[in-house]
Each structure stands twice: as structure tokens, then as C-alpha cells.
Structure 1
């Protein structure tokens, strides 16, 4: 039976309503009766009959055939009382000096407590509560605060109740109230997130993993929701199989979402699940995910290496490629690495791979792990392979070029007696532009500014942003003597032992492994190549020097590290 309010307000021209709204309303006004029957309906004013007919017409349409906009109304309505309060004429509220004073205090607040303490003010009402929630929402979205900080404060719950937080939102508003709709559109994301997080906590772990996988497949990186999922899965006592563990890792990798507690739980479980698994595809997915996340769990990497050796007859070449890439990314060689290379990798050739680019990945990974043989270099540096990789492309693919340049440099500098093909000195490949991330650029500029204090202002003493033609940029290059006295670059010789050539490389966050404080394998390769050219290499980690540090702090850091570097015994 259709349920209507005993009093029906004269509808606005743009307003329409579906009967199902009443079913989802969380509260009703004092003058409504949800049990109203047909007799009460007959008392509705004659001039409102058109509205009743419209409602009845809507209810006769099957729900799945109704207009899409109408279906969304059920999911996006605010509490009826909250809606009514918000829709009141704001003029009276805005004229209150106390209101304006509180809103001013909210906008000038610097902390959560500054805002939530205002909830105890007698003049704190619907209008000021809405402003407060919008400010807090902005702080959450910009990373100034975390939702967990709000959850810990009971005053936040009071604030939410005042604005009628629910899974519902305003349906349609007249034009004069569009500013309210715009404000609440910003608020909607926060409100929906809170409701979703509450629902997540009631799901089974299988359902949580499905939600996580769905977010990954759609590329939806809602951090508060992901954090709730991660915490709920990590603290669950339900057992997980290897497929579920692989799905979790893959979703984290695709979304670039890292949660220490969750990934530790996944890896601990994988230590038990991997040895007995026969699912090659799932294990291969685990290889890839760990590499994408740059997560260095040495025990798990050792177990995965053992699994590949044990299943060498059935493992696919592309899975071997994935494992090598992951080991190269994190710069780790397990105890059984030599056996892996000898038994599994050595028999592989380019023809075993689905694409030539996969063979390039194999050789590049072996180069990073210092396990490349002469025949590997020759197989990718010859003209025929380069033509297969690049073909007639007008613009060469940067990632492939950088790998070729890494391999070419290792063949020339690290492999003694190599006489095979290399990249011609006049090739366009050698002049490929290498780009930096914004973070790395800021860090490099901060270090160069400090170097200009230590070194004479003459450019003859310092080179910056050097294209090494080895697949990476050198942030700075300068020379000093044994007493750290600067020497002009053009007066020194690489073979003169009284001078030291210093190569400076900054290491951004993305160049460190997760799980440990180790630099990634690629930076390790850069260091080897520079040392092979006669440099003493100074690595500048992002977590030791910040571009926001005072200049004197950066200068002292570089000077101290330079002295330590010169005291080190060079590696043979």
C-alpha cells in the first residue's frame, strides 16, 4: 500500500518524488504517519491529486525499468529531518552575529581540536556544523589530517549527527539553493566514504578481497576506504589461500597502495602457501606484484626462487622473466640464485619468449644482478635485435632505450674483455633525453645549491645534470684533492691518484625498496657503472636531506659525507 505524508507540501515545479524514498527515509517528521492507509490518503487536498497520481504511476513501473536518475535517489538522500533543516530559509541564520563569529573561527582553525571544541558553543548549529564538516573534509583530502584522528573524538560524532550524515544526499534543489548543493557535493565523498567504511567492517574476508579487487579493476584509489579494507583484512583471523593472497598483492600493486601491516600478513601466509602450490599463474602474479610494489622480503623471495627451481619443468619462460625482474627491481640475490641461473635461466634464449621485449627484460635483469654473460650482451646489442625492438618507430620507446643503454654501458665497463657489438657512438640512442620526477628534481636542485657554496662559483669546477649516455642522469660531477680542496675539472686526469672524481646521485623515495632501507637494484647498477669509470660515488637519500632544509644544513651534510667518502678504500 502506498505510504504518504498526512500533509503534502505544495511541490516545486522541479520537484518529483518516488514512493520508495519513504521506505529508505531514516526518520520522519512529527506531522507524518508512515502507517497512513487509503482512507487517510483520500483526505489529501484536491489540488495535490496530480502529485499522488504521479507517485502511483511511478510505483507501477518495475524498479529496474525506472529512470536511472530516480534509482540513484534511493542511494543519495539525506535524512528527512536533516534535509528539512538545511532547506530552511538561511537569511535568519546568516543574520546572527554569533553564527558569523563561529564560522570565522572555523575557517581560521589550525587543528582538529580548534574546530571540534566549538561544538560545545551554545550557538553552534546546523549552519556552522556544515561549515565545520566541509573544512575537515578538505583537510582529509589534502592529507593534513587522517580520518582515524576524527574517529577517536566523540565530538566528531556529534558534529556528524548535526548535519544528518547518512548514505543519502540531497536529491534535486531549486536554483536558489544551488550553493547548498555545491557545498554538499564536496561533502558527499566524505559522507559516502564513512558509510562505506562502516559496511566494510561487517563483510566477510572473502567479500573484502572482492571489494579490493573491484577497486583495483576500476582504478578507484579511495585511500580511506583502502585503509579500512587493509586493516580489516590484516586483523581478520580467517584463513587465506594462495589465490586470495595473490589477489590482495595484485590489487595493492595496481593501486600503488602500500600498507605495512597487510603486506606483512600476506607475505607470512605466502611463506606457507607457496612451497605446496602448483598454480603457476598465481605464483607468477605474485612475482610481478612484489616487483611493482618494490617490496623486499628476502625470505619470501628465497622461497619463490626455490619454487621456480623445483618446478623448472613446468614453469613458463615469462614467469622466469617476472621473477628476474622482481629480483632486479629490489636488488636482491637469494642464496639459490646461482642455481636458478644455471638450471633455469641459462637454457633460455630469445626464441623461448613471446616477444623480443621479454628477452630484453631478462638480459637487463641479469645485468642489474651482475649475472650477465658475453652471449647475453651480444644477443641484445646486435643490429638485428635492435631493429626488432624498435622497428620503424618514429619515436623510440624510452623505457626500452634506457635498458639498452644500461646493458651497453655494463658491457663496455664491467665485463672485462668484451669485444662484441655495442651501440655506435653516433647513434641517436645515446642522446636520448632522460627525465626526472618532480621530487627528484627538487632534491637535486637543493643539493646543487649547497655544492655551489662549497665550490668556487666558476662553472669549471662543477657539472650538473649530466647525461651519462648510460641510461641515467648524473646530478653533479666535481673534483677534489685529498684535503677536499676543489680542483677545476679540465685540469684533472682520471688516472691521477692525487685527485678524486666525485659523482653525486640523489635517491628519491621511489628509488628505495619497501620493507627495508635498501636502494633499488637500478641505483646499485648506476653506482657500479660510475665506479667503473673512476668515480667515487656519493648517494644522497631523500630521507637524509630535504630541499626544505636550511642551506647551511645541506652544506654541512655534503661536506661531512665527502670527507667520509674520501676515507673509504676504493673497491677493486
Structure 2
């Protein structure tokens, strides 16, 4: 019965406060309990869980208890007015958060309640600190624009007498406003900058910002400038802000640098002044990585890696520094090895591996961590381990405990639902030379008995090509007959259609000029589906000759150009797929002649390319005869 009375009282209170949907009762009831008691309840809801109506009710209650009864003779009257205005300003921000999705819906608020709440400030703006006036104006405008249903309401909202007094006072004293609040006002009025009279305040603020930016030297002011809204119509303002950040980046703390970096990233995402942003991004990322380990944390490294990934910043300075910091975390024996931290480090390495950069010592340390994890909880470590194995294979990194790690990984109960990931894993085992392990051999046998081979052709073109190449590599490694691969003809067709790159074209042209006609063949696709830019026929002396089926000592040379993206860094190892391609071509009876980009570039213009090509042919044939 007592419970019924409480609910009945709550219902009447809610109906008096305005329209409220039934599903909001549970969220508002603690607030009603708070409002119905003479003393604030200790069992009040967390602020962020209250609905808009609940915030209004609570605000009215607190104003009635604490703020309305300010005596004019009170010696602390100005301070109390300031506290009251600041309190209402905070309520505006809470209301904006709670109303962001519902506007004028049943659990929202109406514009009249916002006006009444602003009137509750009940103070002349000249009696308040200028910063407090700016906060109130900003909070009121942002909330009003968020909940107004039409242009008429917006006009009425920005024309309220009490509000106009605050706006006028702010406009008349704008030059005395601190930089942080000036930026706040600039951002607040940016959406309504073309609406009179707000346009006057906005452009006056913009003019002062342009004048003040070159004179900024304090780190806090620089961070404040980073909050300026990204406006493609104001490149001059943002150029000066970026210049200021670049000049004083050394004086910023780690937190301040990250704040500036986030701002520059957001601007770069809009493709505004990208050249300057790229230079500044590198400068800020480098500054973050220069910090020691602490205060630098794994979170900061994750931010840097995500920035590099997003904007393809494969910088030769940042990558080694980032790897050094990762290694420091792995070597920190004071911290307990946790699965969550190991997952984050694995994701970090995954992002770094996208730039074809990897160090064996880091992979070995991560493998050691994974082997030490609790064997009873493998749900997460299976996903981490698969990423580590695939990345190590892609970078052609030989793991110190590779065989043990693979055995441990495959012994866990895991159902690999993603068939493409399973293909990549089996391919990774072949790259690492573990294809004859019993568990790996069983997995490969199962793979080629399934219908997976025919289903991969249904994927998008790029994904299907990658999967078919890996399946082909596994089949050639395990000596599985190529006739049993249903997708082989499709793979050969796609390889034949693939266009040659600029480096491949230049090398092929040089070979054509150096060798007699009939001693080579261009754009050859092998029975296993490998594309060879140019196939050269040479005799036992390394001399190019016209092909003759009756010749017994004829060598078929598969010329493969190796560009920048076929090597891993920092030690310039051939990537996993390059090593597999060479291995497969040898099995098909070819002798592989690789022309790396760095050797070709060193020849320059003056060196005769024909001499280089003929020398490479002789060296290749000689190496096969040894």
C-alpha cells in the first residue's frame, strides 16, 4: 500500500512537470523522490542517466533552496550571483546532452522551459565576471539551437530580452575576453554567423582572433586555439594557428601535444590544407614519441599508430621510434602480463605491419607473452595469435619459437569461422616452413576437400584474387596437383588482365633493347598462375639465345622486378608472398632473376642498362650451375 502511494505521488508530480513518456518513469523517479523531500536524497540517480524533464525538476528545486533567496545586503552577493549563473550554465550543458537525440519529444523539453531557466540567472551581466557571461551565452545558444524545431523558434530564442542583454554586454567587452572564451564564442556562433545581429558578434570575434593568434606564446592558449572550428572559408586563420602550433610544440606537455594532434587530424580529414597538415602531423607525432615511458603509455602509442595508418604516414623516423617504445613496454617486467594489454600491442603491430615494417625481436617478445597467458582463457588469445602469425608471415619474419607457438595455437579449441583467415593462417605456416607439421598437414588436407575453393570466386575481385593466390601457394608447396584446383583458370585469367607497373615497363623495355628478338617472351602466365613480366632464354654460358626446342642446355629465366613495396623494413627482406613466388617458380622449372628497385635506381642515367642486364643474366645462370 505504501508503495502504491509513492507511485501515485510520483505520477502526479510527473504529470505536473510536463509530458513524459512511460518508459522514462524509472529514470525520473529518483529525481521526484529528491524533489518531494525537504532534504536532498542520498539515493539520487547519476546525472547522466536523468532525462531532460528530470534535470529541469531538479534544477528548479536546487534554485529554490539555494539561489533565489539572495539578499541585496549580503556582502557576498556578487559571488553568489556568479555561483547561480555558473550553476544554471552547467544545467544547460546537461540538458543539451540529454536532449541531443529527442529534441521536442515526450521525454524532452520545450523552448519555454529554456527561456525560463535563463531568466533564473536574475542578474545584470555587468555584475558577473566576463568569462561567466560568455559561458552562459554559449550554453544558452547551443542548447536553444539544438532543440528549436524551426527558424521562427530560433529567432525568438535569440531575441529574448534577458539574453540580448548578455549578448550586448559581451559584444561591448569582447576585447577584454580571455582567448579561451573568445574561441568558445567563435565556435558557438559559427552555425548562426549569417543571422543578424549574431553575425556582428561572430565577425568581431573572428577579427580579434586573427590579430591575437600571432602573439600567442602560452601553451594553454595554443591548446585553446586548437578548439577553433574547422572552417574551409577561413584558411588564413587556420594557417596562422598551425604555424603557431609548429613554433611552440616543444613547450607543450604530452596532453597538450595530443590535443593539438587531434585537431590537426580532424582538419586533415576535411582535406583542408593537407600539405601543411602532413608536416605538422609528423612533427607532433615525433614529439609524442620523444617522451619517456612514463608518462608515455600504450594508449598514446595506439593514437600515433592510428594516425599513421589513417594518413599513410610511413615515415622512416617515426616507425623505428614507435617500435622502440613498443619494445620498452614488452620489456617492462614490473607490469603483469595481461591479455587485454597483449591484444593492444598486437593491434599496434598490426598497424605497423601495414607499412611493411617489422622487427623480429618485437614479434619474439610478443610470442613469449602469448605463450605465458593463462591456457584456460583462450577466447581472445586465439584472435591475437592468428594476427601475429599472419603478420610475421607477410613480413617473412622467422619466429624463434615459431614451431612451439603454432603447435600451441592449433592445439586450442577454436573454430575458425572466417574461412579467409583460415586460408591466410595455413599460408603463413607454409611461409614459415611448417607445412609438414601433422596438425598443419591435416588442416591443409581438410581445406582442399572442402567447397571453399569454388566459393572464393564469389567474393569481390581483390579479395578473391588474394585468396586464390594463397590457395595456389599452399597447393604448390604441398605438391597438390594443380588440376584439382577449380579456380586455377580464373586465377590465370585475372593475372593475364593485371596491368604492369611503371618499374616493370621500364625494365622490360631495357631488356628488349639489350637482347636479340626471339630470345624472350613478354607477359607470360605460368601453369600455376604466376605472371612473369618477361621470360628470357639463355644457354649454359649465360648468353640470350633464340628459343629452340631441340636445345638441351636451355635455361628459362623468369625476370621479376622487385619494387619498393616488395621488401619489408628496416632490413629490406623480401616479403612472404615474394619468397613463396620465387619458391613456386623454381618448382615450375624457372630460374628467377630479381631486379630490385634500389639497384636499378643506383644505375642512374649515365650507366648502360644493357651491361647491367647481361651481367645479371650471367650471374643467375652461374649460380644455378654451382
| TM-score interval for Structure 1 and Structure 2 normalised by the shorter chain | 0.5 to 0.7
Q: Counterpart of 1:558?
A: 613
Q: Counterpart of 1:384?
A: 451
Shift of 1:385: 1.8
Asked if structure 2 preserves the Cα contact closer than 8 Å seen for 1:364 and 1:403, the reply is no
Asked if structure 2 preserves the Cα contact closer than 8 Å seen for 1:205 and 1:238, the reply is no
Alpha-carbon spacing, 1:312–1:216, altered in 2? closer, same or farther (3 Å): farther
Asked if structure 2 preserves the Cα contact closer than 8 Å seen for 1:379 and 1:385, the reply is no
Distance 1:77 1:406 in 2: 60
Distance 1:277 1:367 in 2: 30
Of the candidates 290, 296, 310, which is equivalent to residue 372 of structure 2? Answer: 310
Alpha-carbon spacing, 1:214–1:194, altered in 2? closer, same or farther (3 Å): closer
Q: Counterpart of 2:394?
A: 329
Alpha-carbon spacing, 1:469–1:441, altered in 2? closer, same or farther (3 Å): farther
Distance 1:210 1:445 in 2: 46
Asked if structure 1 preserves the Cα contact closer than 8 Å seen for 2:491 and 2:529, the reply is no
Distance 1:554 1:189 in 2: 49
- Whether 2:381 is the aligned partner of 1:319: answer no
Shift of 1:65: 5.2
Alpha-carbon spacing, 1:425–1:282, altered in 2? closer, same or farther (3 Å): closer
Alpha-carbon spacing, 1:378–1:212, altered in 2? closer, same or farther (3 Å): farther
Q: Counterpart of 2:509?
A: 449
Shift of 1:209: 4.2
TM-score (norm 1): 0.62
Q: Counterpart of 1:293?
A: 355
Asked if structure 2 preserves the Cα contact closer than 8 Å seen for 1:246 and 1:286, the reply is yes
Q: Counterpart of 2:337?
A: 277
- Whether 2:304 is the aligned partner of 1:248: answer yes
Structure with the higher fraction of residues in helix conformation: 2
Asked if structure 2 preserves the Cα contact closer than 8 Å seen for 1:406 and 1:470, the reply is no
Alpha-carbon spacing, 1:271–1:547, altered in 2? closer, same or farther (3 Å): closer
Q: Counterpart of 1:197?
A: 246
Alpha-carbon spacing, 1:538–1:426, altered in 2? closer, same or farther (3 Å): closer
- Whether 2:466 is the aligned partner of 1:402: answer yes
Shift of 1:336: 0.9
Q: Counterpart of 1:415?
A: 478
Asked if structure 2 preserves the Cα contact closer than 8 Å seen for 1:382 and 1:421, the reply is no
Q: Counterpart of 1:463?
A: 521
Q: Counterpart of 1:478?
A: 536
Q: Counterpart of 2:87?
A: none
- Whether 2:293 is the aligned partner of 1:226: answer no
Distance 1:472 1:338 in 2: 29
Higher relative contact order structure (alpha carbons within 8 Å, sequence separation ≥ 6): 1
Q: Counterpart of 1:508?
A: 563
Distance 1:328 1:192 in 2: 44
Shift of 1:255: 2.6
Q: Counterpart of 1:66?
A: 189
- Deviates further, 209-218 or 380-389: 209-218
Distance 1:511 1:75 in 2: 53
Distance 2:465 2:416 in 1: 19
Q: Secondary structure at the match of 2:536?
A: strand
Asked if structure 1 preserves the Cα contact closer than 8 Å seen for 2:520 and 2:536, the reply is yes
Asked if structure 2 preserves the Cα contact closer than 8 Å seen for 1:482 and 1:500, the reply is yes
Distance 1:492 1:214 in 2: 70
Q: Counterpart of 2:323?
A: 267
Alpha-carbon spacing, 1:82–1:200, altered in 2? closer, same or farther (3 Å): closer
Residue by residue over 1:388-418, the C-alpha shift from the partner in whole angstroms, topping out at 9 and shown as x without a partner, is 545xx3x643233333233324423x324x4
Distance 1:424 1:445 in 2: 32
Rg larger for? 2
Shift of 1:259: 3.3
Q: Counterpart of 2:434?
A: 371
Alpha-carbon spacing, 1:461–1:66, altered in 2? closer, same or farther (3 Å): same
Alpha-carbon spacing, 1:462–1:359, altered in 2? closer, same or farther (3 Å): same
Distance 2:364 2:587 in 1: 30
Asked if structure 2 preserves the Cα contact closer than 8 Å seen for 1:450 and 1:554, the reply is yes
Shift of 1:213: 6.2
- Whether 2:420 is the aligned partner of 1:357: answer yes
Distance 1:76 1:473 in 2: 60
Q: Secondary structure at the match of 2:506?
A: helix
Ranges in structure 1 where 5+ consecutive residues have no aligned partner:
1-18, 24-52, 84-156, 158-166, 169-181
Alpha-carbon spacing, 1:238–1:362, altered in 2? closer, same or farther (3 Å): closer
Residue by residue over 1:194-243, the C-alpha shift from the partner in whole angstroms, topping out at 9 and shown as x without a partner, is 23323544432244346556766887473111221133123334622333
Shift of 1:323: 0.5
Shift of 1:522: 1.4
Distance 2:267 2:484 in 1: 43
Across the two proteins, how many residue pairs are aligned to each other?
A: 415
Of the candidates 561, 574, 579, which is equivalent to residue 524 of structure 1? Answer: 579
TM-score (norm 2): 0.57
Q: Secondary structure at the match of 2:420?
A: helix
Alpha-carbon spacing, 1:462–1:516, altered in 2? closer, same or farther (3 Å): same
